[in-house]
Structures are given as C-alpha cells and as structure tokens.
Chains A and B, each alone.
Chain A
C-alpha cells in the first residue's frame, strides 16, 4: 500500500510543477475578441505578416464575459486589445480604455469612432439590425415590413429574439423600438416573441425553420443566405439604428506598444476588407466593399441611435421590460 501513495504524491507534485514551469513564457500581444474566431484569426494572420516577431494570443469570449474580465482585472488587465464589442459597451468601460490616435485616424468618419480628439476606440463594423424571415414558413405578403408589424398578433409564437438583458444587439433592438413607439409597444412585441439567452440562436433557429421571424445582425443573415438557407433580410421601413461596434486599447495592458501597432493595422483598409470577407459584415471604412448578398447602405432606412441614452437607461429599461414580459 506504500507504493500507490508515493506514486500519487510524485504525480501530483509533477503535475503542479509542470503548470508552474509553463508560467515562464509570455506572449507579446493579447487580444480579447468578441468577434468570431475565423474573423479574428484572419486579422491576426494578416497582422503577423506585417510583424512576424510579435506572438499574438487570442482570447475569445462573449462581450458580456469580456466586459466582466476587463472590470475584474482592472487596473492591470492581462489583455492589450478589446476587439469588436458594441459602442455602448465601450462607453460603459470608457475609463478602462487607453486613448490613442491611430495612423489611419483621418480615414475613419468621425461618427464611426470615439469623438474625442485622441479617440479611445475606433469603429470596427456596423451590425445593422434587420428582420430575418424564413421564406418557407411565410408567404411574401405576410413578411413583416416595419417594427410595428412585429406586434401584430398573427405572428404570435413565430418570432424569436435574443434576451435584451443578455445580448448587446438584442438590447439595441429593444432600444430602437422603445425610441420609436414607447415602452408599451415593446411589451406587445415581447408577448409575441420567444426569447433565447444566446444571440447566435436567433439566426440558427430561423435558418432551420424553428421560427419564421428573427431580428438579428445583417451579417448573420448574409451568412445564412450564402449557406443556402431559405431566408431573406428585410430592413424595417421605419428605420434601423445606425450603430457600430469598435475596438480599443486596454489601459494598463502588458504590451502597450504592440497594442498601438495593432490598432494602426486594425484601422487600415486591408483589415476592413478581411472583416467584410470573412463574416459578411458591413464595415465603417468608406472605401471598403459592401457585404455580398446584402443591399447597399443607400437602400436601408437608417435612424439615429443615441448611444449615450441607450447606455444610460439600459438597466432600467431591461429590468422593466423583463418584469413586464417574462
């Protein structure tokens, strides 16, 4: 009986030491990304062509988790860059971002970055929210045309939405409806819909025909169309908010100089092209092409999206909405 004990003790000691020894190495740029894996990987690959010497570590998580990490690890976070999270979320952690004027600063329109002279974040993509409709389940005359249509009782149980408390894009949808038609209208839509915790479930469910209508980022609809799913994108005639998501440098991160190099790269036309090509997103650079199967911006009705107000009333609005609907 002696032997197993010695073996166990030695095994444990070795295992713990192996872990300890591995601590010694450090990466030289750590990116926290809410963008999809292939998109972030493609960007990193291109960046490494420019700077082969920089070892890049990519951390992938939902924007909620990344924000939690940022706040929990402040003031000395383990990451250098936060990639692709909604503008209102960036505003919520504004103090944790490092101001930096990127090399391509002048090419990015002012309304698509932090408006400060030395911005803390630059626009990444424009996740316009649109209706995703399954053409097998609805006849063309039954397609919803406006936000207002979503409250029509004939769609009861046919609409799938992400939970606005858990998903940034779903909150943006809620805020748009709230701004357009007020709180009671939001509750009517809420009663018509089914909610899911994960925003990726929405395009999946509509593509598979689980639900006829979903509201989601237009890029997801483009991907489903490319994939051969029987769906189309409908942009509400009463307008969809001109929102963008962005990226910035984390204050107090381990590699501030490399982080600046990455921000310069991220605001270049090359980087924006990659974003369009990998995930069919609409990007903020005026010279970048539009996403494949989606209409040009000129055919989309845009409305102003008041980020500051959206961020300010977020907790109150989502709590009231959750209490009224769920």
Chain B
C-alpha cells in the first residue's frame, strides 16, 4: 500500500473488471418473460375476479366466477374428470414409458434408433386427427373393436365404449407416453454405471440394484416426464372434445366459455383453477425430487454392460414393438386412409392417388410456414429455456420457485386463453400491431412451449455435478466460457431431446394458431383441420401422412446424427 490510488477510480475499475456476461445473458430472457409471459398471466389473473363477460377493468372484484364450481354440476364434473384423467394418464404412461426406456437403454436389441424415432411419432399427430382415427378403429363400428370383442367375448368381457373417460384416458396414454419414454431412456442411458457396478460387486441382486440404485438415480427425469404428461393431459382439448361425449374436462369447459359466449373472465377463472392444480403437482414433484438429489454425470464415465440374456432381449423387443404398434395405430390408419376416398362400414373404400396429387397445389406454402414457424420457435425456446433453467438451477436466486411456476404456467394455460391474451396485447388495434404476422405466432409458440426445453434442461442440470463447473472457474475460465465449454456440452443431450419434442409438438399446433393465423401464415394443421371439418378424410389423411413423414425424417436424422455425439458428450475426461 505504498501509493494510495484514487479511491473511486479503483472501485470503478473493480466494478468494470467484474464478469458481467451472466447478467447480460440473463437479462434477455428475463425481459422477454416480463413482456410476453407475465403480462398474459397478470391479465388472466385479474380477469378471473371480474364479473363474467369480456370486459377488462380494474374492479369491482368478486368470486362469482369461482362460485360456479360449487353451484354448477357441469363445473364440478369437469373438475373431477380433469383430476381423474390427468392422474390416470400419468400412471398409465409411467407403466408403459419407464420399462420401455429401460429396455431401449439397457438391453441389447435391434433397431434402437428406429424405436427411438418412432417413439416420438405419437405426440406429433394433431390430437383431433388421432382421436378421430381411434373412432374409426375402436368406435361402435370400428374394425379393431370387432376383433377385440371377438377375443374378449371368450371371457365374457366387452371393450368399454371409446366415447367417455375410458377412451380419453386410453388415447391420451398412447399419445403422451413418449414424454416418459424418451426422458426415462435419456436418464437410464446417462446414469453412472459405476454405482450399479459397485452395488453388484457388493453382492446385491439385480432387483435390489434397480430399486435402491438405478431408480433413485433416474427419479428426477421420471419426475420431469410425469409432470410433462400431467400438464399435457390437464390441458389437452382435442381428445376430450372428440371422445369426451358428455364428459366435460376443464379445457372443454374453457373452450365453451370462450368460443361459446366470449366470456373471457369466466374462462380465466377456470384457467386459474387448472393452473393452481398443476402448480400443486409441480410442488409435489419438486418435493419428491429435492429429497433425492443425486448428480449422476460425474467426472469419469464408463459404458454400460447391456443385458444380453435371450429371454430379456425377447421380452424387451416384443414389449417395445407392441407398444409402438398400438400407439402408432392412428398413424397407420392415416397412411392407409390417405390412399382412399372414404371410410365405409368395413374399412377404407375407393382407392385413389388424388389425395396426394392435390398436395402441391394446396399445401406448398403451409408446409413452408409450418417448418419455418416450428424451427424458429423451437430454437428460440431452446435458448430461452436453457438460460432460465440455468438461472433457477445453478444460481438459485430468491424466488426461483416463482420463476419456475411462472414459466410453467402458460404451458398449462389453454391455447385459447394464451392466444386471446396475445391478440389483445399485440393485435391489430394495439401499439405493437403484430396481427396476422409470423411474429405474433412465434411469440405465442414461445410462451407455450419454452417449458418443454426448460423442463428437460432442469432435469439434465440436476444430474450434473456442479464441481465440474467450479473446477473450470477455479482454473480461471470466465462464466461464459465455463457455460459454453463445460455446462452446455454436458446438458446438451437433454436440451436437444427437449427441443426435438418442442419442434414435433409445434408442427401439430392448432388451438393457438387457429386464432392467430392469416392467409399468409396458414400452417399444415390448419389445413388438416379444414379437411376434417369438411369431411374430406382422404385429404386430411394425406396431409397428416405428409406431416408425420416430415417429422419422422427430421427426428430420425437427428437421432442418428446426434446419437454418437450424445454418447460421446457423456465421455468427459
């Protein structure tokens, strides 16, 4: 301390020499979230306490919209059904997805890339098309129903009607199990084999290892999968709308308030109830997982010895193929139907190429639009979701839970409610007139889908040992360098699978798009919806087949191409 330098200057210098990149990087997503995410949430929240109708004011507030849950049978039934459906679907998807993920990750079997790629297909068929196909197969005159009943008849049983809760739960299960399957697969693949080997050396039996070592390790990923399924099941409109019959759930009730009566405030109240339920489920999931935090991506890696016993290989292969066959039945139906003019009593009738011949004429622009919107939105979601996940998981700022809930909330707000909030904020009449543009669709896609990537990034981060990052920092790397060279490569597989899922689900998005699209921004699902509404199932099937094929190619190429880099990215050090 020989020369005492100018005090303020040194403070300034110290201030300037601090590493600001994290703050700069974090501020972008936070600003986006404030503008596009909190605003729709806040208006929805306020609306819920306003008198029924469309008017938005700041009072007088009341609980009238909520009282309906006490006074109306319809509201009570919707609430009860939503509970039953969501929990049943989570349970059933776990039952299918977890073993399947385990088999594909740990059992030596053929066509793994193909199974992984096919496994994502159920979530990309627009759900109204899926539900419709199931009616063709399992409806009162359904082909497959007759076969199944002929078989069940031997035991004096009969398949329950596809119209009603059974149908809704069944179709949602075969649609949403990929979330559990893919996340479980990723976790089983990533879990550190040394731990299991250690248990084995100590003489534990397979079942004991599975129960006490493997399952706890993959629990965060299973939790993430379960919560994704829960939210999807809670928010899905297309399936209960077509198969629910008179069994209402909360999304159909909301649709009925908005599109039936333009009662935005009543719809907001119902949305709030559904957000609250999902919030509760999120808390429960956090509680279960936070008590069991394990880092599984350590500094050293080794490969798993895969099961090679013939019995388990046969069981695994048969199980996976069976699940794929059942869950892809609607897609298969669509492909078959796309070559016919109509579906008669005994199956498709009138072979034709005409459905495909029309595609270049009617679908050129919509195909490009769908690809453009889905790709851009999922990349933006990936960046945003990944950064926010990093903030909540690593920095653990105060209010991280609120941030977590806030980013998840729009995901469970029904598409209709989000779009109405977006239109009123950025529609033709507002200061930022974005009505009819690609941007307005991108914004609402981001609001609704960032949680996918966010969830999978959180799950990956919670498996990643922070000491790796600390080591990098101690060695002198700045934050950005550490994030780029250490954290990101390690969590990349999780982010990529989340982004692929986002891309796939955005390609089939209907409920937001239908309120926001203009002639220029028409997408493929809008076209499919129109064909179904006009009763042109051949054309709808051809377009759906095209959609499925497009996604399948993208996913398959990604799986092949990234399959190597996914495994190699685990081999750190």
CA distance A211 to B379 in the complex (A): 46
Chain B residues, CB < 8 A from A16: 376, 380, 442
Q: Is A184 an interface residue (CB 8 A)?
A: no
Mask, A159-178, CB within 8 Å of B = 1, is: 00001011000000000000
Q: B244 touching A197 by the CB < 8 A rule?
A: yes
Contact status of A23 and B437, CB under 8 A, knowing A57-B520, A200-B532, A227-B342: yes
Interface residues contributed by chain B, number (CB under 8 Å): 66
Which one of B372, B427, B489 has the highest number of Cβ atoms from chain A below 10 Å of its Cβ? B427
Q: B376 touching A201 by the CB < 8 A rule?
A: no
Contact status of A73 and B428, CB under 8 A, knowing A195-B246, A209-B345: yes
CA distance A123 to B416 in the complex (A): 29
Q: A165 touching B260 by the CB < 8 A rule?
A: yes
CA distance A73 to B433 in the complex (A): 11
Chain A residues, CB < 8 A from B424: 72
Mask, B395-429, CB within 8 Å of A = 1, is: 00000000000000000000010001001100111
Q: B259 touching A210 by the CB < 8 A rule?
A: no
Q: B241 touching A60 by the CB < 8 A rule?
A: no
Stretch at the interface among B69-77, B103-111, B182-190, B457-465: B69-77
In chain B, positions 239-264 with a C-beta closer than 8 Å to chain A are 240-242, 244-248, 252, 255-256, 258-262
Q: B252 touching A18 by the CB < 8 A rule?
A: no
Q: A19 touching B428 by the CB < 8 A rule?
A: no
CA distance A323 to B424 in the complex (A): 31
Q: B260 touching A64 by the CB < 8 A rule?
A: yes
Task: Label chain B's interface by main secondary structure.
Answer: helix
Chain A residues, CB < 8 A from B344: 208
CA distance A86 to B7 in the complex (A): 77
Q: Is B20 an interface residue (CB 8 A)?
A: no
Contact status of A12 and B526, CB under 8 A, knowing A19-B437, A30-B518, A210-B141: no
Contact status of A19 and B252, CB under 8 A, knowing A65-B514, A72-B420: no
Select from chain A the residue with minimum beta-carbon distance to B436.
A78
Q: B427 touching A72 by the CB < 8 A rule?
A: yes
Closest approach, in angstroms, between the C-beta of B99 and any C-beta of chain A?
34
Closest approach, in angstroms, between the C-beta of B524 and any C-beta of chain A?
13
Q: Is A297 an interface residue (CB 8 A)?
A: no
Mask, A17-48, CB within 8 Å of B = 1, is: 01110110101001000001110000000000
Interface residues contributed by chain A, number (CB under 8 Å): 67
Chain B residues, CB < 8 A from A208: 139, 141, 343-345
Q: B262 touching A198 by the CB < 8 A rule?
A: no
Chain B residues, CB < 8 A from A323: 72-74
Q: B439 touching A19 by the CB < 8 A rule?
A: yes
CA distance A205 to B520 in the complex (A): 34
Chain B residues, CB < 8 A from A57: 518-520
Contact status of A166 and B260, CB under 8 A, knowing A74-B429, A76-B429: yes
Chain A residues, CB < 8 A from B442: 16, 19
CA distance A208 to B143 in the complex (A): 12
Q: Is A104 an interface residue (CB 8 A)?
A: no
Q: B246 touching A11 by the CB < 8 A rule?
A: no
Chain B residues, CB < 8 A from A300: none
In chain B, positions 139-165 with a C-beta closer than 8 Å to chain A are 139-141, 163
Q: Is B517 an interface residue (CB 8 A)?
A: yes
Contact status of A12 and B435, CB under 8 A, knowing A78-B428, A210-B139: no
CA distance A318 to B163 in the complex (A): 21
Q: Is A274 an interface residue (CB 8 A)?
A: no
A200 CB contact (under 8 Å) in B74, B428, B533 = B533
CA distance A223 to B536 in the complex (A): 11
Q: Is A133 an interface residue (CB 8 A)?
A: no
Closest approach, in angstroms, between the C-beta of A134 and any C-beta of chain B?
10
CA distance A69 to B526 in the complex (A): 15
Q: Is A319 an interface residue (CB 8 A)?
A: yes
Closest approach, in angstroms, between the C-beta of B483 and any C-beta of chain A?
11
CA distance A211 to B139 in the complex (A): 10
In chain B, positions 422-472 with a C-beta closer than 8 Å to chain A are 423-424, 427-429, 435-439, 442
7 A–B pairs (Cβ distance < 8 Å), ordered by A: A1-B484, A20-B438, A71-B54, A204-B535, A209-B140, A209-B345, A323-B72
Given A19-B438, A57-B519, A209-B141, 17 more pairs with CB closer than 8 A? A1-B485, A12-B379, A15-B379, A23-B438, A68-B420, A73-B423, A75-B429, A78-B428, A163-B256, A166-B259, A195-B245, A198-B241, A208-B343, A209-B345, A210-B141, A323-B72, A326-B73
Q: Give residues in A with beta carbon < 8 Å to B.
A: 1, 5, 8, 11-12, 15-16, 18-20, 22-23, 25, 27, 30, 36-38, 57-62, 64-65, 67-69, 71-78, 136, 163, 165-166, 194-198, 200-201, 203-205, 208-211, 220, 223, 227, 314-315, 318-319, 322-326
4 closest Cβ pairs, A-B complex: A57-B519, A64-B259, A19-B438, A197-B241
